[in-house]
Copies of this chain bind each other. A is one copy, B any other.
Amino acid sequence: MSVSLGELAVRFGLELRGDPDVRIDGVAPLGAGREHALSFLANPRYARALASTRAAAVVLDQASAATSPVPCLISENPYAAYARIAAYLFPAPAVTPGIHPSAIIDRAARIDPTASVGAGAVIEAGARIGPRSCVGPHCTVSAGVVVGEDVRLVGQVFLGERVVLGSRVVIHPGAVLGADGFGFAPDRGVFVKVPQLGGVRIGDDVEIGANTTIDRGALGDTIVEEGVKLDNLIQIAHNARIGAHTVIAASTGVSGSVSIGKRCMIGGAVGFAGHISICDDVSIAGYSVITHTIKQPGVYSGLIPSEEASTWRRIVARLKRIEFLAARVSRLEQKLNMRASGAQSEDDE
């Protein structure tokens, strides 16, 4: 597809600076632009690349526009504007309705005639696939699962029983929804399996990354509300609830019965102790461990940046002996008849 910069400005409601007849037929990184390619500048880290860009035009904000050597489209949110333009230039391939002859569909499954089912996909009894949804190759849709409209299961996705997907959900390969939650009751040295009888409910416009796992609830459902975006290799345990429009980066683990609020931003490899609640609008730095309920919106962290290894070893050794350091300070205070005062008094007990 080739469009003029002027058409893009009109279609996306952006201010145009420069020649409206410049043709755009693709996108490119700012540092590697090419003829007819549109680029964007959203992260100040890359501002220096603007001066030398070979892109035909750039989407950027008002402040950066003055220094652009090429025509530009101005947006308060250049990244979102770029995302919409790129989606317009490169639309997802249209879903071709139909069922691949190698797919294995139970007679008691209901596939909308506008849906697409790929090679080798398995759809069991009672499952329902909604209009224009696409079930990719090697997906398994278990008995009774409900898939909404315009859903895309890219391929090799496993949906266990009692999984319900809203509309416009995207699930990447290897994701497993609806496996049994991890519930075992210890009893005289062995573990008795606690039947996992709930399901998984996924809201509209959710995206789920590759090899992410979302277990079914023990009783009641595990719930991912609308607009949530989950990266790869995330674990969502049974009966967790993820609030609307929350995003979670890769390798994070959400323990059982954790409730995370709306519009939270969770970094990668974060952990949550079980049975806690996180309120709306909380940001958590990657590699943090959240052990208690959070009732106050804000930013939380437990991340410790690494060091050159011998320096770090000395720090760790000192940390391990921090009680001795505190005891030495106490003895100094005694010698000088000083008391650790105020908030510090607890420090000696």
Asked, given contacts A140-B156, A306-B288, A309-B300, whether A233 binds B231 with beta carbons under 8 Å apart, the answer is no
Specify which chain B residues have a CB less than 8 angstroms from the CB of A338 in the assembled complex: 331-332, 335
Q: Chain B: which residue is nearest A300 at the CB level?
A: B306
- In whole angstroms, how far apart are the Cα atoms of A134 and B124 in the complex? 16
Query: B318 touching A307 by the CB < 8 A rule?
Result: no
Query: B333 touching A328 by the CB < 8 A rule?
Result: yes
A187 sits at the interface (CB 8 A): yes
A14 sits at the interface (CB 8 A): no
Specify which chain B residues have a CB less than 8 angstroms from the CB of A184 in the assembled complex: 83, 207, 229, 247
Query: B328 touching A275 by the CB < 8 A rule?
Result: no
Query: A187 touching B271 by the CB < 8 A rule?
Result: no
Question: Could you say which interface size class chain A belongs to?
Answer: 35 or more
- Within the oligomer, what is the number of copies of this chain? 3
Specify which chain B residues have a CB less than 8 angstroms from the CB of A137 in the assembled complex: 104, 122, 124, 140
Specify which chain B residues have a CB less than 8 angstroms from the CB of A120 in the assembled complex: 104, 120, 122, 138
A69 sits at the interface (CB 8 A): no
Q: Which A residues between 78 and 124 are near B, CB-CB below 8 angstroms?
A: 79-80, 82-84, 86-87, 90, 100, 102, 104, 118-120, 122, 124
Give A170-197 as 1s and 0s: 1 = Cβ < 8 Å from B's Cβ atoms: 1011101001101111110111111101
6 A-B pairs with least C-beta separation: A302-B306, A80-B187, A80-B185, A299-B309, A158-B173, A179-B210
Q: Name 25 interchain pairs, CB-CB below 8 A, sorted by A.
A: A77-B186, A86-B194, A100-B104, A102-B104, A140-B156, A155-B158, A173-B176, A173-B179, A174-B211, A176-B210, A176-B211, A213-B250, A233-B253, A235-B251, A251-B253, A286-B289, A299-B309, A300-B309, A304-B316, A304-B319, A321-B346, A324-B340, A329-B329, A329-B332, A332-B332
Give A277-295 as 1s and 0s: 1 = Cβ < 8 Å from B's Cβ atoms: 0000001111111111000
Query: A83 touching B192 by the CB < 8 A rule?
Result: yes
Q: Chain B: which residue is nearest A197 at the CB level?
A: B90
Asked, given contacts A80-B185, A194-B79, A229-B184, whether A176 binds B179 with beta carbons under 8 Å apart, the answer is no
Specify which chain B residues have a CB less than 8 angstroms from the CB of A326 in the assembled complex: 318, 325
Specify which chain B residues have a CB less than 8 angstroms from the CB of A79 in the assembled complex: 185, 194
Specify which chain B residues have a CB less than 8 angstroms from the CB of A291 in the assembled complex: 303, 305-306
- In whole angstroms, how far apart are the Cα atoms of A99 and B44 in the complex? 52
Query: A219 touching B28 by the CB < 8 A rule?
Result: yes
- In whole angstroms, how far apart are the Cα atoms of A320 and B247 in the complex? 29
A232 sits at the interface (CB 8 A): yes
Q: Chain B: which residue is nearest A42 at the CB level?
A: B185
A323 sits at the interface (CB 8 A): yes
Given contact pairs A82-B194, A84-B192, A182-B231, enumerate 14 new A-B contacts (beta carbons under 8 Å): A80-B186, A122-B138, A138-B158, A154-B179, A174-B176, A184-B229, A190-B205, A213-B233, A232-B235, A237-B250, A285-B306, A289-B305, A315-B323, A325-B325
